[in-house]
Amino acid sequence: MSFAVPANLEAQLDELVTHYPQKRSASLMLLHALQEHFGYISRDAVEWTARKLGLQPINIYELVTFYPMFRQEPLGKTHIKVCRTLSCALAGSTELRTHFCSKLGLDAHKHAPQTTPDGKFTVEFVECLADCGNAPVVLLNEDLLPKVTPAQADEIVARGKAK
């Protein structure tokens, strides 16, 4: 399958580039937009972005490997980010993540993001999501969920399976 950026998305990206006096500055915003559209940053996406901004592919690839939010492989449709850091840990986020993992047949001892074989879920332990007063928090795709209980976790799993 060849890599193609739809014309309307490319127009959006071209507009983003105009926000900066130097094109290179747009790289993070372009990567966000491409990841949102394609689900991850492929090699082709790296090379396409580099060409778009007049850079070498390494200038983009080094961003994909540095910034934790960029992914080099597809993620599950339901992306569950459980906050790992202190305030959430005090409120039981380790147990919450283990709960998600056991419900989804994933290995709770693995630290890295894990995706279920059916491609429906990715569970990830992430650092502080800046909502510590509502610990434990979960970033579910783009929505931040406060004070997540095991029962709510079960609902998230049930909804994700139905998708």
Footprint of other proteins on this chain (CB under 8 A)? 19-22, 24-29, 31-32, 53, 59, 62-63, 66-70, 81, 84-87, 89-90, 126-135, 139, 142-144
Least distance CB 148 / other proteins (angstroms): 15
**Residues 117 and 73 sit within 8 Å (Cβ to Cβ):** no
Distance separating alpha carbons of residues 5 and 161, to the nearest angstrom: 30
Omega of the bond prior to 113 within 30 degrees of 0, cis?
no
**Cβ-based nearer residue to other proteins, 32 or 161:** 32
φ/ψ of residue 138, rounded to 5: -130, 135
Q: How far apart are the first and last CA of the chain?
A: 25
Least distance CB 117 / other proteins (angstroms): 26
**Cβ-based nearer residue to other proteins, 9 or 29:** 29
**Residues 133 and 121 sit within 8 Å (Cβ to Cβ):** no
**Cβ-based nearer residue to other proteins, 81 or 99:** 81
**Cβ-based nearer residue to other proteins, 9 or 139:** 139
